[in-house]
């Protein structure tokens, strides 16, 4: 009986095998995460590089640098070069109930060169119209569509066909 036990190698404990396997999997998972994170995450800039870049930007005259609106990357779509004029936000109260307020942001698509003076007249016309609208008139999707159609019709009359489209950016009732 002693001869058989001496010939066979000792079996490792299942707990030791499991701990070794767990350690190997943890190292492999951590290394894979570090590799993928390095590929996806942007490089972190040091404080010295940031300070040098800020000083360089201050040293440039104002005309040489990028425009502030275009620093984020893509230029704005609503530009006069594209024939689009974004009106200032319109905030006014409704006709009934008069304690409800509406905020409306609209952009106008001109056919040809945009006319800023006409855009201001249209903005004032929209404000005057919104003061005659009641909350019940703009209730629901059908009411909103009727409001859009009414504003488009008023803009067409005011611009004599020079504005081809009214684009609603936001519409909030409070």
* Residue 101 to residues 9, 89, 105, 133, 165, Cα–Cα distance (Å): 86, 13, 14, 11, 25
List the chain domain ranges: 80-173
Mean of the pLDDT values across residues 67-86? 60
Q: In whole angstroms, what is the distance from residue 13 CA to residue 91 CA?
A: 76
According to the model, what pLDDT value does residue 151 have?
93
Fold of domain 80-173: Tetrahydropterin Synthase; Chain A (3.30.479)
Indicate whether 4 pLDDT > 60: no
**What size, in residues, is the chain?**
174
pLDDT band at residue 112 using 50, 70 and 90 as cut-offs: confident
Q: What is the model's pTM?
A: 0.54
pLDDT tens digits, one per residue of 20-31:
999 999 999 999
Q: In whole angstroms, what is the distance from residue 75 CA to residue 71 CA?
A: 9
Q: In whole angstroms, what is the distance from residue 133 CA to residue 94 CA?
A: 6
């Amino acid at each position: 009986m002693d001869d058989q036990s001496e010939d066979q190698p000792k079996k490792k404990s299942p707990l030791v095998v499991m701990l070794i396997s767990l350690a190997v999997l943890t190292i492999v998972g951590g290394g894979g995460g570090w590799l993928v994170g390095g590929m996806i995450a942007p490089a972190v800039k040091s404080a010295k590089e940031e300070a040098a870049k800020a000083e360089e930007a201050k040293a440039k005259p104002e005309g040489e640098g990028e425009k502030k609106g275009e620093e984020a990357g893509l230029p704005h779509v609503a530009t006069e070069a594209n024939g689009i004029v974004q009106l200032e936000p319109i905030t006014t109260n409704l006709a009934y109930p008069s304690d409800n307020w509406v905020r409306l942001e609209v952009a106008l698509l001109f056919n040809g060169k945009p006319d800023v003076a006409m855009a201001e007249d249209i903005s004032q016309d929209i404000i005057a119209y919104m003061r005659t609208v009641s909350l019940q008139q703009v209730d629901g999707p059908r009411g909103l569509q009727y409001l859009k159609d009414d504003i488009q019709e008023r803009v067409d009359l005011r611009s004599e066909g020079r504005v081809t489209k009214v684009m609603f950016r936001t519409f909030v009732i409070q």
